[in-house]
Amino acid sequence: MTDTPAHPITHGGNLHEAARLYRIAHDQWLDLSTGINPHGYPVPPVPADAWRCLPDDGDGFAARAARYYGAPDESHVLPVAGSQAAIRALPALLPRATVGIAPLTYSEYAPAFARARHEVVPLDAAHATLPETITHAVIVNPNNPTADYASADTLLDWHAQLSARGGTLIVDEAFADAMSASTSTSASLASFVARPGLVVLRSPGKFFGLAGVRAGFVLAQPALLSPLRDTLGAWTVSGPARHAVSAAFADTQWQQQMRARLAKEGERLATLLRTQRFTAHATPLFAWTADPRAHELHRALAERGIWTRLFAQPQPASVRFGLPASEDEWTRLELAVEESVGAIDAHRAR
């Protein structure tokens, strides 16, 4: 049984660590280590009551999320303090069993299940039939960081296999909002969460660029949401966060324009890497490459004040890039990648 993570949990956004390691002032960095939209939603002024009053579960927040995500109704939606809170709490609410998790995916899942005394095993999502030994499975869709994307039909088939064993499929759709409307709607399992043994996690932080509000949603049957609510307690999402996310959900024009913008910028990022002979896999919010030069590229960019996310394991190592926020930042990145690859090639030619 897995008791502790094989590797420490790391996240992007750790810019103070980069500044310390490379002795470059914090404000001199271009931080591309997360997959958060750099063009965040312009939150309207927060009403005074959002600061003064306790959050009210009767304010329609869950209902607005149900409409936005396409869940059956508000009884199938639990607002939480970022999907991170649910990732930590959910494993203890599921029967102890063997859980399949991809070797390279969001790094919080495996340790969370291990702490709850589940056995964590590698999951190869390329197989249509899940191993009979697996009772629960976690799928990040699209996957962070590899950008792999599973269809709704595939996911529903996996859910049926696990449900027949008394298991649960957890689908993390944190990056789904940024996909085109047709793709995200057709691949999301939000409308199916009335089925037993299916949990969908959604996060407005990535697409709307609102990671700082710490708001997320668990979509599932009320029978599972009730003990999760009891575990997490009251007032998990603050009044100002509820205001910001509600405004973002209602602004369909901004959503449409932003999806179109991110699609172009995501492709621009992938093209930048491919031009330098990297095989790039991308979503509209990030690009990822697994390459023998990954460590060297990450270090060379850091020496130029650009912070990316390095995944040292599993091999081959890989690097994930988020989006620059401005044309000046794009120019800086393009020049730094070109210089870094030239330095790597020159070093290897010695």
Q: What pLDDT was estimated at residue 349?
A: 82
Residue 181 lies in a domain: yes
CB 291 within 8 A of CB 297: yes
Task: State which residues form the domain around 257.
Answer: 15-40+253-348
Asked which of 224, 251, 278 is the last residue of a domain, the reply is 251
Q: What pLDDT was estimated at residue 59?
A: 94
Q: What pLDDT was estimated at residue 112?
A: 96
Neighbours of 120 (CB within 10 A): 23
- DSSP-assigned letters across all residues of 30-65: EE-SS---SS---PPPPPHHHHHSPP-TTSSHHHHH
Residue 5 lies in a domain: no
Residue 338 lies in a domain: yes
Residue 145: asked if its preceding bond is cis (omega within 30°), the reply is: yes
Neighbours of 16 (CB within 10 A): 10
- What tens-digit pLDDT sequence spans the chain (350 residues)? 444 445 457 777 788 999 999 999 999 999 999 999 999 999 999 999 999 999 998 999 999 999 999 999 999 999 999 999 999 999 999 999 999 999 999 999 999 999 999 999 999 877 778 899 999 999 999 999 999 999 999 999 999 999 999 999 999 999 999 986 655 556 899 999 999 999 999 999 999 999 999 999 999 999 999 999 999 999 999 999 999 999 999 999 999 999 999 999 999 999 999 999 999 999 999 999 999 999 999 999 999 999 999 999 888 999 999 999 999 999 999 999 999 999 998 888 87
Residue 3 lies in a domain: no
CA distances from 331 to 324, 326, 335, 338, 344 (A): 9, 9, 6, 11, 20
CB 224 within 8 A of CB 231: no
**Whole-prediction pTM:** 0.94
Q: Are residues 188 and 100 in the same domain?
A: yes
- How far separated are the first and last CA of the chain, in Å rounded? 47
Q: Are residues 79 and 171 in the same domain?
A: yes
Q: What pLDDT was estimated at residue 186?
A: 63
Q: Are residues 240 and 112 in the same domain?
A: yes
Residue 4 lies in a domain: no
Q: Which residues contact 247 (CB under 8 A, 6 or more apart)?
A: 41, 43, 44
Q: What pLDDT was estimated at residue 314?
A: 87
Q: Are residues 135 and 70 in the same domain?
A: yes
CATH number at residue 330: 3.90.1150.10
* Cα 168 to chain centroid, rounded: 20
Residue 187 lies in a domain: yes
CB 314 within 8 A of CB 104: yes
Asked which of 229, 251, 273 is the last residue of a domain, the reply is 251
DSSP lists the bridge partners of residue 79 as 217
Q: Are residues 93 and 229 in the same domain?
A: yes
Residue 295 lies in a domain: yes
Task: Count how many domains the chain has.
Answer: 2
Decide: helix, strand or coil at residue 74.
Answer: helix
Q: Are residues 110 and 175 in the same domain?
A: yes
Q: Are residues 242 and 135 in the same domain?
A: yes
CB 317 within 8 A of CB 310: yes
CB 216 within 8 A of CB 203: yes
Q: Are residues 294 and 169 in the same domain?
A: no
Q: Are residues 194 and 308 in the same domain?
A: no
Q: What pLDDT was estimated at residue 109?
A: 96
Q: What pLDDT was estimated at residue 5?
A: 45
* Cα 68 to chain centroid, rounded: 18
Query: What is the C-alpha to C-alpha distance for residues 38 and 325, in angstroms, rounded to an integer?
Result: 5
Asked which of 219, 251, 283 is the last residue of a domain, the reply is 251
Q: Are residues 124 and 225 in the same domain?
A: yes
Closest CA to 323 of 28, 12, 96: 12
Residue 150 lies in a domain: yes
Q: Are residues 146 and 221 in the same domain?
A: yes
CATH number at residue 56: 3.40.640.10
Q: Are residues 75 and 201 in the same domain?
A: yes
CB 88 within 8 A of CB 228: no
Q: What pLDDT was estimated at residue 184?
A: 55
- DSSP-assigned letters across all residues of 273-291: HHHTT---EE-SSEEEEE-
